[in-house]
Structure 1
Amino acid sequence: MASWTELEQARGVRRWRAAAGLLALLLCASVTQVAAQGGSWELLVENAGIASMHTMVTHFGTVILLDRTNIGASQIDLPAGVCRDNEQDQILTHDCTAHSVEFTPGSNAIRPLFIFTDTWCSSGQFGPDGTMTQTGGDSDGLMKIRKFVPCGDGSCDWTETTTELQNGRWYASNQVLPDGSQIVVGGRSVFTLEFVPSKGEARYLPLLEATKDAQDDNYYPFVHLLPSGNLFIFANKDSIIYDYNTDAVVRTMPTLAGTPRNYPSAGSSVLLPLTAADGYTKAEVLVCGGAQFGAYLSDHSLPASNDCGRIDASDPASDWAIEVMPYARTMGDMVMLPNQHTLIINGAQTGSQGWGLADNPTFNPLEYNPFAAAGARFAVMNPTTIARMYHSTANLLPDGRVLVAGSNTHQYYDFTGPYPTELRLEAFSPQYLSAANAPNKPAITAAPGSLAYGELFTVSVTIANPPAGNVQLLLLSSPFTTHSYSQGQRQLNLDVAAPVAAGGGSYTISATAPPGAAVAPPQYYMLFALNGAVPSSATWVRIG
């Protein structure tokens, strides 16, 4: 975010009262139909040692929590005898505390990890072999490329490569591409994109400069790989379909009405599930929430956006359809669930991203059913009691729960005031994990560990009650989550045949792997079986 000096200068900008008043009226409009509440919460860890600004789930099922340096000591020590000596650190040049940890669901164990340069507001993606490539940050981390090779024995840790980015990137977004490389888009006052590994000089992307406004609502652009192989790139209120192979804009999309949607206004976005039913050709993008212009610069009491925009990026004549959420929300995280819904969780109802710039936490998650009729897609879930606002995260776990971490509305760790630095880890269990659904919950007993594109394969499951129809198979990627956006998040609904009974409550499901790397870029995915609205726990499968 901007320095305090820059913020104070920016607060002299006029507040655009008329426009804000109109938006406020719109935000108070009647809400859509909502369903009954459900879901439950559990506290997993009282003190994880750090406030997780960035969170990612590895194919070993462990979770990497990553904060930043330049904030002084964290609340967890590095192993005995290990310290970080960095003369460029602005607060603590000799630091024997960790700023990243590994969390193991189930045992709830926390293991400190070593990060050297500043990862503040950085980006990343998992590659084809499961390695996390993590890019940028602030200060001495601005140009850095880091790696984390996951392991199952507690021996793995962060490393910094000798190769650097071409442009310093703070608040950029990454997307893995069909060839397994990554594209890194934007950053603070950076209007370019580049590739890791490098594919030549960084390229100027006019959209990024065109969407810069007085409060820089083009940070952390939303980047989605479409099944056509092109990219959907969204910043502020505007978006394009971009052919990165030819460096050409294929289509300039209509402007999404309403508030700014990217950092610091902090809406969120997902590419809705791609399905074999239409040959994986239909690609719809959903963008939800945001903050009114001026909420970051001056009036932090302005209500957040309570609407979503949905557009079919595969239809050349499409326009945004607007849907109204039950709650206004900025800084919400969107998590794709294995029941084919999207969870909208965390955030605040007033203000924007930034240190101390938001209030009125949004405690109730929402589930969005993309296949329901318009006006009946949102269901309100049971609330947490912990405020999760700026620098909070939410990630799907292989058991179907959602891990919720972080929230630090302060520049440093501060455990005072109404919104103290949050070190607790929670899990939200959607309604499909309730005891009432246990007889219909599949359990995967056999599945391949890797699949080639288009490969025919089988999965074995057990279910206590006979399935009422087809048991679906879903693939969900593991994204890099930070600042209300899960980079690289993706869900695929596979082509399956009817389950064949094998006796004793066992069933065999024949299926076909995704047809190509534009549909399923090469990565590890969580494979879920879905019986009606009840998913199994996942097994990991490497695609490509």
Structure 2
Amino acid sequence: MARPIHLALIAAAVLSYVHVAQQGETGAHDHHQHVKIAAAAMIPAAEKLPRTGWVATASSEETAGDPAANVLDGDPATIWHSRWRTATPFPHWLTVDLRTTQRVSGLVYTPRTGRANGRIGRYQIHLSADGATWGEPVVTGTLADDAAVKTIGFAVSTARYVRLTALSEAGERGAWASAAEIDLLGDPGPRPPAQGDPSAVGTWGPTLGFPIVPAASAVLPNNKLLTWSAYAADNFGGANGYTQTAIMDLTTGQVSGRRVANTGHDMFCPGTSMLADGRILVTGGSNAKKVSVYDPRTDAWTSAPDMNISRGYQGQTTLSTGEAFTVGGSWSGGRGGKAGEVFSPKDNRWRSLPDVRPEPFLTADPAGAFRADNHAWLFAASGGRVFHAGPSAKMHWIDTAGRGKVTAAGTRGGDAMNGNAVMYDVGKILTLGGAPAYENADATKAAYTVDINGSTPAVRRVADMAEARAYVNSVVLPDGTVVVVGGQGRPVPFSDQTSVLEPELWNPATGRFTKLAPMATPRNYHSVANLLPDGTVFSGGGGMCGKCATNHPDGQIFVPPCLLNPDGSRKPRPVITSAPPTAAYGSAVTIGTDRAVEGFALTRISAATHSVDNDQRRIPLSSTAVSATSYRAAIPSDAGTAPPGNYLLFALDQAGTPSVAAPVRIG
């Protein structure tokens, strides 16, 4: 369901948060601590605007009993309903005239009670100053088919007219639309101003509404984005044996929801890996031993064998062998002792690694293993090995052969739980942000590079970020720069206090960060970010706390500066006219383009949850021009450089502007 943006905890949310803390992620033993944290997170929320004098009109209404005016009468028992005696096809719109120009930041939709007919599914919201000129929608999305009140947030704007357009009925029961009440939210307060021209800071697209909080996400090779939450659209707890999912079609922008129950798996807070054949392996979480596999070719979820050890919040990655390695994860299924294990897709079984103990990887979190044994940063290397880069200060090499083996690899800096790590070049990792404890500890601005190409990892501290961040996501772009999205200066689950709304861009050539255009919505705990095939970045989610005010069932797409002219228009970009769908290790592939280009890069399609995206990596390719528009590019010979799986192949011109990616499967 949709919830507000720009909102932080209010008194009712504090009670909801404390209840969740006692039975969910934070654990019953921390009850006294989380009462204190929730109270500290109380900051003003955007208020509903007074509806005095407002007028509602509709494109279709049952004037005799269910007119548009009912949405403003304060009585949820009366409704607006589009004509049903002589039904008219979609779309159906409902417009509210505020009578004066006001600042608005969201729409609160109360569905009818009793009967479900007419619940709005796909929707758009438009704003207008005069009721005649509407422009592009400020938010599009899909609402869940339930009776819950839904608050749809969007960037703060000035308008007199607000139009909600229904494009479908949530349950596909007919060509109807209805609403019991409509409210609008005012300006929640100052936001960071836009900075500079778009070619320097980028731009954000409109808000995209989801029927769930996208707490986990995976880019699919068919230009779609898979997301999921838990057993509920906006809440977690227990092991319920099913999961709410949603898929956004990146071509059309449409979002469709689906409840996955056939695998008996509540996939909240899991490990994820993108397997060599393109399937997504989801392990543990609320159902801590369960394993589910999603195949984008068939759009089907199936069960895989249970893990040997119950886990939630584990670290996981795909190996150079095509297997998947996981370790740790003491949030679910007991605390401590979460030794590593490996899943073989070929044999369809798990193999234990008793000598890959989790203890070397723990942070010094004061909450012990419950918080310290989570979210390991893992990067596949040659020969089935894995480099452990954090979030603990200590780093390690992991050998997954036989019983497994762990070897110390030096230190990086302080513990950085809920920070982020991304491989931006071959064997080169950027780590940033995080905090010395999982929650209620000041985050850091510090960033480091770790080069694992030599015999000993080389650690270098680079320039600090402009803002301290935990619960932060980062995405490597085709040119090797890294977009850093969201996070809090002081991590507190289910709070938007100390949110950082301005992303930053890290440049490996200078080792420095620059601020980017601010986003409309805080993206903190349970948020995600992914590189999309067109070179833009999806950022979404945050919350998952039931009726609290910090659920964000929506996302936005960021257009990086490299794609934009100073006036905000899109730059001309190269086009890949031909590329092979598959490539073998050590081969040379022929790539056709519509113009001369400077080079090519692969980025591995990957998945994100809880600030972790271990399969994400970028690999620049060596290439030779055959003609003005034809090139031979060398695919790495080592599966440790490019673990088997699906990749996005980008061409880049001399200015670093990337093409839309061509999909290619390596190995």
TM over 0.5: yes
2:248 to 103, 107, 113: 103
1:120-159 deviation per Cα after TM superposition (whole angstroms, max 9, x unaligned) = 1101112122111111111xx11111011113xxx62323
**Aligned match of 1:386:** 521
TM-score (norm 2): 0.65
Q: CA deviation at 1:413?
A: 4.5
Whole-angstrom CA distance in 2 between matches of 1:292 and 1:195: 29
Whole-angstrom CA distance in 2 between matches of 1:91 and 1:168: 12
C-alpha root-mean-square deviation of aligned residues, in Å? 2.8
Is 2:652 the counterpart of 1:530? yes
SS at match of 1:196: strand
Alignment of 1:333-372 (within 5 A): 333-352=473-492, 354-356=493-495, 359-370=497-508, 372=509
Whole-angstrom CA distance in 2 between matches of 1:59 and 1:36: 29
**Aligned match of 1:150:** 296
Is 2:31 the counterpart of 1:8? yes
1:24-52 deviation per Cα after TM superposition (whole angstroms, max 9, x unaligned) = xxxxxxxxxxx99410001252x210001
Percent of counterpart pairs with the same letter? 23
Distance 1:89 1:2, change over 3 A: closer
AA aligned to 2:555 is L
TM-score (norm 1): 0.79
Q: CA deviation at 1:499?
A: 6.1
Whole-angstrom CA distance in 2 between matches of 1:208 and 1:355: 28
Alignment of 1:11-50 (within 5 A): 37-45=200-208, 47-50=209-212
**Aligned match of 2:117:** none
Q: CA deviation at 1:424?
A: 1.7
- Does structure 2 retain, via aligned residues, the 8 Å contact 1:218–1:236? no
Is 2:420 the counterpart of 1:268? yes
SS at match of 1:458: strand
Q: CA deviation at 1:318?
A: 4.3
Whole-angstrom CA distance in 2 between matches of 1:158 and 1:176: 19
Q: CA deviation at 1:385?
A: 1.8
Higher Cα Rg, which structure: 2
Gap runs ≥5 in structure 2:
1-23, 36-197, 331-335
Distance 1:400 1:100, change over 3 A: same
Whole-angstrom CA distance in 2 between matches of 1:52 and 1:65: 5
- Does structure 2 retain, via aligned residues, the 8 Å contact 1:347–1:361? yes
Q: Bigger shift: 328-337 or 236-245?
A: 236-245
Structure with the greater relative contact order (CA < 8 A, sep ≥ 6): 1 or 2? 1
- Does structure 2 retain, via aligned residues, the 8 Å contact 1:527–1:538? yes
- Does structure 1 retain, via aligned residues, the 8 Å contact 2:421–2:429? yes
1:253 to 406, 409, 416: 409
Whole-angstrom CA distance in 1 between matches of 2:356 and 2:407: 14
SS at match of 2:30: helix
SS at match of 2:372: coil
The size of the alignment, in residue pairs, is: 462
**Aligned match of 1:500:** 627
Alignment of 1:54-453 (within 5 A): 54-69=216-231, 71=232, 90=238, 99-116=244-261, 117-138=265-286, 141-151=287-297, 156-161=299-304, 163-188=305-330, 189-197=336-344, 198=349, 200-208=351-359, 211-213=362-364, 214-215=366-367, 216-227=371-382, 229-233=384-388, 234-245=390-401, 247=403, 249=405, 251-258=407-414, 260-262=415-417, 266-274=418-426, 283-293=427-437, 296=439, 300=440, 302-323=441-462, 324-352=464-492, 354-356=493-495, 359-370=497-508, 372-374=509-511, 377-408=512-543, 410-414=544-548, 416=549, 420-435=550-565, 440-453=572-585
Gap runs ≥5 in structure 1:
13-34, 76-87, 275-282, 502-506
Whole-angstrom CA distance in 2 between matches of 1:212 and 1:230: 22
- Does structure 2 retain, via aligned residues, the 8 Å contact 1:36–1:379? no
AA aligned to 2:551 is T
Is 2:625 the counterpart of 1:485? no
Whole-angstrom CA distance in 1 between matches of 2:416 and 2:469: 11
Q: Bigger shift: 226-235 or 178-187?
A: 226-235
Whole-angstrom CA distance in 2 between matches of 1:303 and 1:201: 37
Distance 1:111 1:473, change over 3 A: same
AA aligned to 1:425 is G
Whole-angstrom CA distance in 1 between matches of 2:234 and 2:460: 44
Whole-angstrom CA distance in 1 between matches of 2:338 and 2:320: 23
Q: CA deviation at 1:114?
A: 2.6
